[in-house]
């Protein structure tokens, strides 16, 4: 187990390094620099000075190693678009709204999805199953900004029940949370349905029924426990996936969160912030997959690491 984890960590380190090099090169290959914007033109001498003060005049590999050295010390540099703070300050300010909304979305969507999937599996090929499957397919196939758009049109524009945007009052949070909840709900509904159908067809369930166990105990004590395994593994990656979902949800609902910075950092050539965002998301995905795999192994003794098949 320890050997397996160490191997995975090494592999993550490799992935992380490759991603950082590629992203760094791509980022700097985009034409233009942070001070080439049109709204505040600066003359060439000033630009050269600014670039020099930020180390942007040095060769790329020097800049890369300097930045990565900083990253190792949790120093992600200064965002050019708001030079009064560090990248970490900016993240500490912008991430909480995204986390609250995204987290609430996942925490509401996942249980709903599990219930929906259970209902679909237990009432297979009835209208409940079809309705649940339709919901799941809709949630997974329709881009989140289309869902947001539909929510705004129906609940804010036509029915006028909830505000379409804003951050101040909690009732403005309802629609974005529903938008965030769509993907977890759909994913869980699909997973739960197929996992439960898998388990329900196993011989041991027939044995339990033959022994005269009540259907309720069969479902909750045996089927659900066995079906829960694959459901555990998708949770963490899905939670982190809300970070990129925030690009659209927050643009639609005008939430002052992380989402807008993904776009603006690329548009404004805000190298430090751009690098920090991509590296952090990549790292979190890597770790989320690793942790999910470990949890899976802990919950499922049938999986043993390190043994060759």
Partner 1 sequence: MSDTPRSPLYFAWRRFADNKAALVAGAILLLIILMAIFAPLIAKTGYADQKFLTQAYAFPQAEFWFGVDDLGRDFFTRIVYGARVSLTIGFTAAAFSLVIGIPLGAIAGYYGGRADWCVMRLIELFSVVPPLLAAMLLGALTNGGFLTIVLIAALFGWVQVCLLVRAQVKAIAQKEFVRAAQALGATPGYIIRRHLIPNAISPIIVGFVLAIPLAMMLEASLSFLGIGVPPPTPSWGQMINVGMNFMYFYWHLAVFPTAALAITVLATTLFGDGLRDALDPTLKGR
Query: Cα–Cα distance between 289 and 300 in angstroms, integer?
Result: 16
Residues 6+ apart with CB under 8 A from 221: none
Residue from 48, 68, 149, 205 touching partner 1 (CB under 8 A): that is: 149
Q: How far is the CB of 29 from partner 1 (least distance, A)?
A: 6
Q: How far is the CB of 144 from partner 1 (least distance, A)?
A: 9
DSSP H or E stretch at residue 127: helix 127-141
Q: State which of residues 4, 64, 95, 145 lies at the interface with partner 1 (CB under 8 A).
A: 145
Q: Is 166 in the site for partner 1 (CB under 8 A)?
A: no
- Cα-Cα-Cα-Cα torsion 154, 159, 165, 171, nearest 10 degrees, comes to -120
Does 266 participate in binding partner 1 (rule CB under 8 A)?
yes
CA–CA distance from 96 to each of 102, 103, 187 (Å)?
10, 10, 24
Q: How many residues belong to the site for partner 1 (CB under 8 A)?
A: 46
Q: How far is the CB of 259 from partner 1 (least distance, A)?
A: 11
Site for partner 1 in 182-241 (CB under 8 A): 193-194, 197-198, 241
Give one DSSP letter per residue of 55-100, joined into a string. TTTS-HHHHHHHHHHHHHTT-----TTSTTS-HHHHHHHHHHHHHH
Contacts to partner 1 by CB under 8 A: 11, 14-15, 18-19, 23, 26-27, 29-30, 137-138, 140-143, 145-146, 149-150, 152-153, 157, 193-194, 197-198, 241, 243-244, 247-248, 251-252, 262-263, 266-267, 274, 277-278, 281-282, 285-286, 289
């Amino acid at each position: 187990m320890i050997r397996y984890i160490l191997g995975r960590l090494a592999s993550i380190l490799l992935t992380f390094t490759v991603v950082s090099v590629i992203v760094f090169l791509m980022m700097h290959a985009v034409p233009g620099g942070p001070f080439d914007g049109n709204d505040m033109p600066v003359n060439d001498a000033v630009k050269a000075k600014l670039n020099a003060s930020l180390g942007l005049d040095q060769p790329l590999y020097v800049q890369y190693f300097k930045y990565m050295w900083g990253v190792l010390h949790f120093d992600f540099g200064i965002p050019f678009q708001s030079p009064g703070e560090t990248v970490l300050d900016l993240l500490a300010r912008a991430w909480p709204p995204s986390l609250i909304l995204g987290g609430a979305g996942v925490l509401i969507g996942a249980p709903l999805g599990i219930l929906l999937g259970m209902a679909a599996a237990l009432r297979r090929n009835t209208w409940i199953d079809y309705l649940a499957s339709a919901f799941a397919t809709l949630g997974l196939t329709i881009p989140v900004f289309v869902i947001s758009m539909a929510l705004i049109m129906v609940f804010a524009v036509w029915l006028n029940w909830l505000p379409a945007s804003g951050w101040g009052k909690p009732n403005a949070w309802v629609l974005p949370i529903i938008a965030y909840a769509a993907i977890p709900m759909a994913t869980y509904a699909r997973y739960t349905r197929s996992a439960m159908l898998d388990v329900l067809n196993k011989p041991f369930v027939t044995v339990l029924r033959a022994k005269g166990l009540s259907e309720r105990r069969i479902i909750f004590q045996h089927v659900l426990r066995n079906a829960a395994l694959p459901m555990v593994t998708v949770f963490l990656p899905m939670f982190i996936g809300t970070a990129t979902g925030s690009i659209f949800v927050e643009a639609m609902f005008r939430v002052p969160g992380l989402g807008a910075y993904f776009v603006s950092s690329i548009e404004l050539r805000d190298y430090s912030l751009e690098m920090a965002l991509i590296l952090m998301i990549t790292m979190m995905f890597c770790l989320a997959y690793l942790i999910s795999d470990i949890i899976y192994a802990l919950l499922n003794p049938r999986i043993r690491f390190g043994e060759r098949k």
